[in-house]
Structure 1
């Protein structure tokens, strides 16, 4: 599937390695979820201050976080777009929405959890893709468990495990 993953960064550091990872992980997550149409996903790589400002502006939450997801459409978990009814006529792509990832937070969490930045950035991207496709985890019940299981399955298919120290 020919998805368009648009990645930008407001960081001064070189983010090419993370961008290359996300160019692999995001399409793999879409494929694993059965997305049958070409999609567009916009990604912003930022730091804690950047994501804090977006979180405050968009969600009125005065705190940084690791990842934010802004879906374009309301899909149900496990029921992704399968036809072009939501596609942009100009591009033929279905715009799934936007994700914002704090690389500063990904580094800190990767170190805290002992699996490194690469695995944490991949996890955050998969987590966000699932949000764009309608998954949620606001409760501690079956929806959260379903989302966590999908995250681990997708990362497992990519060979990105919790033991990944990179």
Structure 2
């Protein structure tokens, strides 16, 4: 079977192979945990606060930097998946969407929460994959609780705990 394609582009200097490996492993683990058993593409851009702020302002009209932005290719509900019929005919991959992560936010939040940069990066990637698969947390109720529960379960599978 064809594997998932997870290009990780560095928009800032200092993105190393270890970080790229964590990103790819977190994407694959989250997809498997959510039952995505067909080959997909998830594009990841690792950048800084300035770039993510510009995109946040442009796409969400929020003029501030953030930790991660997710751009789903499909309008899904949690538990709903695109199918192999949604694959790009040229690649055979289902394009799930894009994510953009600020390395500056990863470092700042890891320090703020008292855990490793690795854990913070893994968490943000899992969080973003869940957004690509239709999870949301705009309310403070059941949707947010459902998303947090899935995040913790997937991080557990990755061996990344608080």
TM-score, normalised by the number of residues in structure 1: 0.94
Report the 3-state secondary structure (helix = DSSP H, G, I; strand = E; otherwise coil) of the residue aligned with 1:49.
helix
Q: Which residue of 2 aligns with 1:17?
A: 18
Distance 1:6 1:60 in 2: 27
Q: Which residue of 2 aligns with 1:29?
A: 30
Measure how far apart 1:78 and its partner are. 1.4
Report the 3-state secondary structure (helix = DSSP H, G, I; strand = E; otherwise coil) of the residue aligned with 2:74.
coil
Q: Which residue of 2 aligns with 1:147?
A: 147
Task: Map Cα deviations across residues 96-146 of structure 1 (whole Å, 9 max, x no partner).
Answer: 000000010011001110111100000000000000000000000100000
Distance 1:12 1:27 in 2: 25
Distance 1:28 1:4 in 2: 13
What is the CA RMSD across the aligned residues, in angstroms? 1.0
Distance 1:14 1:109 in 2: 17
Distance verdict in 2 for CA 1:14–1:36, change over 3 Å = closer
Structure 1, unaligned stretches of length 5 or more?
none
Task: Map Cα deviations across residues 3-30 of structure 1 (whole Å, 9 max, x no partner).
Answer: 0001101112243221111111101100
Distance 1:70 1:95 in 2: 11
TM-score, normalised by the number of residues in structure 2: 0.96
| Off by >3 Å, runs of 4+ in structure 1 | none
List aligned pairs for 1:122-141, cutoff 5 A: 122-141=122-141
Structure 2, unaligned stretches of length 5 or more?
none
Q: Which residue of 2 aligns with 1:71?
A: 72
Aligned length: 161
Q: Which residue of 1 aligns with 2:49?
A: 48
